Amino acid sequence: MQQIIDAVKAEFPLYQPDTFKCGPDNSCIGCPKKLMELVDTDLCYWQYQIDRGMAPSFDELNRFGKMCKNIRRALVRNGRIPASCFAPASDKV
């Protein structure tokens, strides 16, 4: 889980100044602001659990990974992060 958290923190623009601002022309597909808030909340929760020595179950790992993958796809669609050459074909825009 720590590896997933570190990867998400490295790739998502979580703490950049414009991360939690809405676009001026409302051209977003999904709401990047709300999606980033969701990721930030889950990251903080899981970091706290790991620091306490609580290991997630396989189902929790799967759910968190799937959520991050879907949010990454939305961020790519909105131009918030670049599409990676390592992304699966279904993620490419």
pLDDT digits (tens, 9 = 90+) for 37-85: 889 999 999 999 999 999 999 999 999 999 989 988 888 887 777 777 4
Residue with tokens 């790991």: 50
* pTM, 2 dp: 0.73
Angle, CA 76 vertex, CA 17 and CA 78 arms, to 5°: 65
- State both tokens at 75: 């961020």
If 0-12 CB within 10 Å is exposed, 13-18 middle and 19+ buried, where does residue 42 land? Answer: middle
Q: Compute the distance between CA of residue 58 and CA of residue 27 in angstroms, rounded to an integer.
A: 37
Separation CA 26–CA 24 (nearest Å): 6
